Structure 1
Amino acid sequence: MIKVLHVYKSYYPVIGGVANHIKVLCSEMAKNKDMNIEILVVNQKMKSVNETYEGIRVVRAGKVFELSSTPISPSLYYWMKKLDPDILHLHFPFPPGELSALLFDRSKKIVLTYHSDIVKQKNLLFFYRPFLRKILEKAKAIIASSPSYLSTSSFLANFKNKVEIIPYGIDVSFFQKRDEEKIKEIKDRFRSPLILFVGMFRYYKGLQFLISAAENVDAIFILVGTGEYEMELRNQVRDNKLENRVFFLGEVKDDDLPNYYQASDIFVLPSTHRSEAFGITQLEAMACGLPVISTELNTGTSFVNVDRRTGLVVPPSDANSLISALNKILSDQTLRRRFGEAGKKRVEQYFSKELMTQKIKGVYQKILKG
């Protein structure tokens, strides 16, 4: 039996793209009888917790403090050694995990999923760059989620020979289920058409530009999520008298989320920085047959949403471009349907959790044989 330990800063019920990806991957991987999957993350409290969640062992190492939004746990390395995996699967960026892995037994096999460059913490990157290079050298395999991110990341440029392109996958059937009564409730609550955003309210999401666009688009904008920029965004809505057009719904239960996708007409991901490395919520929207509007960041966002095929791709930080794209799709029902159908087929063919898991398991088997 192959024992795999996934290492990152957080895990469910903490919300976030990487944490959600790890949950989907590990839940699917644990179905393999020849795989023993464990997860090591940092707890939100000082005490370490050893628990089982959905049949998977999850160790949450006690947090002592935070540095540049990164939780620091001195016991992370202790747990890494104690759990003693055959494969150590790191989820970058998480510097404490990578630094611990550099001290790890050289005989262990390391797989590193490169989720994103370090974009915001430039001072941290200045000091961390040599260690990042070392962990990329030590890794037996590196996983990137899209060809575009591999081709535009300066950090991956010297390691292309051991990079595997494996896109994120979702539970397609979960998002395609329909609850007609709840979908009707959502449509009755808001005036049609509905423009949807789902995600955390972070600096790179570009929601200020979507709110600006709302002034010149005859539609209702519903924002699902929370985050540190919520008050700033609410103030923008109030100052521009958009309270009857832009609605903040907060966090929505997982089981209810497909209903909001199914009730909407367009999904928008207006991100502004490379921190948006892929945009998993685009997959969720496309699985539900929604056309997507995203921004060109030279990351995986435009690999997921193919311009003029599954939706439209516009320049980042440009409210006028968002206005034009929204009005173009809203005014053409045939185009809207064509984008939606193409997106649904694309997700079903390339972005299922089953396909992702199969490919990552193949990486494990390859490095163990090598």
Structure 2
Amino acid sequence: MRILHVFKTYLPETVGGIEQVIYQICQSGIAHGIESHVLTLSANPEPRDLMLADHHVHRAKLDLQLASTGFSYSVLGRLKALAAEADVVNYHFPWPYMDMLHFAARIKKPTVVTYHSDIIRQKHLLKLYRPLMKRFLDSADRIVAASPNYLATSDVLTQYRDKTSVIPYGLDKAAYPVPSAACSAQWRQRFGKRFFLFVGVMRYYKGLHILLEAAQGTGYPVVIVGSGPLERELRAQAQALGLDHVHFVGRVDDNDKVALLQLCSAIVFPSHLRSEAFGISLLEGAMYGKPMISSEIGTGTSYINIHNQTGLVVPPSDPQAFRAAMRTLWDNPELAEQMGQHAERRYEQLFTAERMGQQTAALYRGLLASKHTRP
């Protein structure tokens, strides 16, 4: 069975949550006889075709970027050719230009839309896009949401309950590196044995300004891994608040990230807007048995982190509540350890790449079977 995945960006050029999910779907499908191909855009598309781990990546030239939407003149022809050889086309939403491509290419193959997020920020453009979006989602044979929470709270998805399946994102822990003793010792010497950890891109919806306000006056060490468009602004905020105990370490490689995940006391994840549809780095914390602090935004973050079981969930945009949650975990290390154990068990039960691969393969096969038996 050959599956074509379509999304505007992909590894190795861009690293983000959706890219990681597509990668895990492709790799976990191998055990189920699935050959995966990914069609994406790239500012520098040479080589146009490459192998990434065990799946194929096809890149078309990115010609224009507007309102977070990439456009390409050459991608239409490539979509037609690749879709002709695929059994199922799996689109990854949102990418409005993709909807246009689907109809322009006159795709007749069975289609799945993996619905990663509502469109939150571009509200005015959404009004113009909504008719096309509805036509595109209407045309899809199946839609996939990553959590029951998101399905229940998305105004868009509730219109498609009859054809929407919930398949949680999954991670393969065996694919993560094991950091050397020297690597771990280096970070332990730098930050000590107890600290809170944030990992992610510094985007508007990540709520890092809330975390900085919550850290004020506590003295709790906080390590922030990642970079992004708000980095300069956040560093200035930390300096203005006198947060000497908050450490920005920038981007790190996977060995260093795993070392920090293993060493930290808890994961802090202050995302406060629905643009945070799931939270891959939050799930990484659960995978390594860490308690979590997150906000209730009606998305997959509260499917990963269950209040008072795997961590603490607080109201969004509430630094005082976030600070209180940090204090609870800091002052009660045994409770924090118990929550971390629950988090790891929940990961093993619901969020492994193997489980995601099984469920996704079953979805594809069920879709193909229904197409073949339809008169």
Cα 1:59–1:258, aligned 2, differ >3 Å: closer, same or farther? same
Task: With the length of structure 2 as denominator, give the TM-score of the two structures.
Answer: 0.94
The residue type paired with residue 54 of structure 1 is A
- Cα distance per residue 1:204-259 (max 9 Å; x no partner): 000011111111223211111110000000111111222x3111111111233211
Alignment partner, residue 26 of structure 2: 26
Alignment partner, residue 61 of structure 2: 62
Alignment partner, residue 296 of structure 2: 296
Q: Distance in 1 between matches of 2:360 and 2:39?
A: 18
Using the TM superposition, give the Cα deviation of residue 326 of structure 1 relative to its aligned residue in structure 2, in angstroms.
Answer: 0.2
Q: Give the secondary structure class of the aligned counterpart of 1:255.
A: helix
Q: Distance in 2 between matches of 1:106 and 1:169?
A: 29
Higher alpha-carbon deviation: 43-52 or 207-216: 43-52
* 8 Å contact from structure 1 (residues 47, 61) kept in 2: no
The residue type paired with residue 203 of structure 1 is Y
Alignment partner, residue 235 of structure 2: 234
Alignment partner, residue 112 of structure 1: 113
Q: Give the secondary structure class of the aligned counterpart of 2:205.
A: coil
> In the alignment, is residue 183 of structure 1 matched against residue 215 of structure 2?
no
Q: Distance in 1 between matches of 2:278 and 2:329?
A: 23
The residue type paired with residue 132 of structure 1 is M
* 8 Å contact from structure 2 (residues 92, 116) kept in 1: yes
Cα 1:175–1:289, aligned 2, differ >3 Å: closer, same or farther? farther
What runs of 5+ residues in structure 1 fail to find an aligned partner?
A: none
Report the aligned-residue RMSD: 1.6
Q: Give the secondary structure class of the aligned counterpart of 2:232.
A: helix
Structural mapping, 1:218-229, within 5 Å: 218-229=219-230
Alignment partner, residue 373 of structure 2: none
Cα 1:337–1:95, aligned 2, differ >3 Å: closer, same or farther? same
Alignment partner, residue 73 of structure 2: 74
The residue type paired with residue 357 of structure 2 is T
What runs of 5+ residues in structure 2 fail to find an aligned partner?
A: 371-375
Using the TM superposition, give the Cα deviation of residue 46 of structure 1 relative to its aligned residue in structure 2, in angstroms.
Answer: 7.2
Q: Give the secondary structure class of the aligned counterpart of 1:149.
A: helix
Alignment partner, residue 38 of structure 2: 39
Q: Distance in 2 between matches of 1:181 and 1:47?
A: 37
> In the alignment, is residue 15 of structure 1 matched against residue 15 of structure 2?
yes
Alignment partner, residue 148 of structure 1: 149
* 8 Å contact from structure 1 (residues 192, 219) kept in 2: no
Structural mapping, 1:1-370, within 5 Å: 2-13=1-12, 14-32=14-32, 34-45=33-44, 49-83=48-82, 84=84, 85-174=86-175, 177=178, 179-242=180-243, 244-370=244-370
Q: Give the secondary structure class of the aligned counterpart of 1:293.
A: strand
The residue type paired with residue 26 of structure 2 is C
Q: Distance in 1 between matches of 2:23 and 2:154?
A: 26
* 8 Å contact from structure 2 (residues 176, 254) kept in 1: no
Higher alpha-carbon deviation: 56-65 or 260-269: 56-65
Task: With the length of structure 1 as denominator, give the TM-score of the two structures.
Answer: 0.95
Using the TM superposition, give the Cα deviation of residue 21 of structure 1 relative to its aligned residue in structure 2, in angstroms.
Answer: 1.0
Q: Distance in 2 between matches of 1:57 and 1:169?
A: 20
- Cα distance per residue 1:128-151 (max 9 Å; x no partner): 111111111111110000011001
Number of equivalenced pairs: 367
Q: Distance in 2 between matches of 1:104 and 1:35?
A: 24
Using the TM superposition, give the Cα deviation of residue 369 of structure 1 relative to its aligned residue in structure 2, in angstroms.
Answer: 0.6
Q: Distance in 1 between matches of 2:323 and 2:177?
A: 28
Q: Distance in 2 between matches of 1:196 and 1:73?
A: 38
